[in-house]
Amino acid sequence: MSEMKTFYLKTFGCQMNIYDSHRVYDLMQSNGYSFVDNPVDADVVILNTCYIREKASEKIFSELGRIKVAKKHSGKFDNFVVAVIGCVAKAEENNIFDRVPYVNIVLSPSKYHLLPEKISIAFNNPDEKIIDVGLNGVEKFDYLTDISLSSLSDYSAFISVQEGCDKFCTYCVVPYTRGREVSRPFEDVIEEAKKLDNGKTIEITLLGQNVSAYNGKDASGNQRCLADLIEEIAKFDFVKRIRYITSYPTQLGDRLIKLHSTEKKLQPLLFVPIQSGSDNVLKKMNRRYNQQQYKQMIDDVLSVFPDAKFSSDFIVGFPGETDDDFKQTLKIVDEVEFINSFSFKYSPRPHTPAQKMDNQVPEDVKTKRLIELQKLLSDKQLAFNKSLIGKVIPVLFESVAKKEKNSMFGKSEFMQTVIADYNENCIGKIVDVKILEADAFTLKGELIEKK
């Protein structure tokens, strides 16, 4: 009997990539491969890649260089297969083989279900360069329905419900690397959720590049929306928390907004990227809303669910962004209580209109603006975290804390990291915690024993 082959898998980028990697992990194991946590020991090395920013894509090539050096140093450089999958694979295509000749396989995000077949070909034909970068929407899920699901942790799982984007924001590569918007069939998503009834999973996050635009058809051919999915999944007793990301500001819709006030399993943090507070910049970005419309969305949510909080994305230094434009971004951060947001310098990406725009902002200006914005966002986050001191909040504890001795790690309703003294009876459960300390990133508290 031949020895079981091994694989190493590393993930870069967004939650969608994390989800895809869990499916790849299941796929490889179901095809007789055993996972190892060191690429040097792997017969197959798989990198699931991100292309959103320049540094993200360059990390892939740096990683491939490090693997090559490590493999050669260990004397294990022969007789192994390297696969690059994901968004860099789609964007760079054959250029990957040119830059890193020892790569065997390049597959787009829509094609990772073909990995076992392509790996077999690569082992039999080591000199062949195998590439498939087609975009076939959600067809890949047809090949994955019988695979046992992995999850982000034992207790929290992702489900991809929608892929691609039709917005064509001038800075974004998603329509080119993941294709146009397409939603998975309604029953397929529900069946995948049912499979998570494993005695551990209690939190489900629904994923999509534009998840609020979900419009999958049910078995009768009727189109269903994200609110339908949430309501159906909420019926499962094992599900205690439901989240969804990422939403487009003008596509939440009245029904989804109102659901936040009635469905207790739906968590109160909404991730709705604004990107800029300047109408001028938003127009250049081809974001199909203005500052006032974004703030109206915030008001609409708060009118039915005052406890809601918001997280966002910001891009600074977009081509043509003036000092006044940037001040408008700072202004909206002051006006909206963003409790946990992400901010980046604009990074020109191939194939995007913004790459060719005039008035590219100098790097030093982008850096200065980013530092100022991140300071303001951090101050807002710290203020909210400190406002919880003395309050009791529900926390899902997931594991032992790595850096805190005799402690455990959990997540609040608002995705804050929460640390408390270790109690094995609390792992995998939602427990009330009284918050005693807070900084910008972490809450610390004590368990509240129920009488």
Q: What is the pLDDT of residue 371?
A: 98
Strand locations in 102-155 (E): 105-107, 130-132
378 vs 435: CA distance, rounded Å: 19
Q: What is the pLDDT of residue 53?
A: 76
CB 161 within 8 A of CB 214: yes
Q: What are 409-421's pLDDT values in tens digits?
A: 999 999 999 999 9
Measured between alpha carbons, how far is residue 282 from residues 114, 170, 224, 375 in Å?
39, 10, 30, 22
CB atoms within 10 A of CB 288: 15
Measured between alpha carbons, how far is residue 145 from residues 47, 140, 158, 187 in Å?
23, 9, 15, 12
Burial of residue 152 (CB within 10 Å: 0-12, 13-18, 19+) is: middle
Q: What is the pLDDT of residue 1?
A: 35
Q: What are 178-202's pLDDT values in tens digits?
A: 889 999 999 999 999 999 998 899 9
Q: Comparing C-alpha atoms, which of 14, 176, 17, 171 is closest to residue 84? A: 17
63 vs 207: CA distance, rounded Å: 27
CB 293 within 8 A of CB 250: yes
189 vs 356: CA distance, rounded Å: 39
Q: If phi over 0 gives left and psi between -120 and 50 gives alpha, with beta otherwise, what is residue 164?
A: left
Q: What is the pLDDT of residue 363?
A: 96
Q: Which residues of the chain have pLDDT under 50?
A: 1, 151, 451
Both ends of the chain: CA-CA distance in Å?
Answer: 58
Helix (H) or strand (E) holding 54: helix 54-74
Q: What is the pLDDT of residue 2?
A: 53
Q: What are 241-252's pLDDT values in tens digits?
A: 999 999 999 999
Q: What is the pLDDT of residue 216?
A: 95
- The number of C-alpha atoms within 13 Å of 103 and in the hemisphere containing its C-beta is 25
The SS3 call for residue 196 is: coil
CB 273 within 8 A of CB 298: no
Q: Comparing C-alpha atoms, which of 249, 296, 295, 241 is closest to residue 271? A: 249
451 vs 449: CA distance, rounded Å: 6
pTM: 0.90
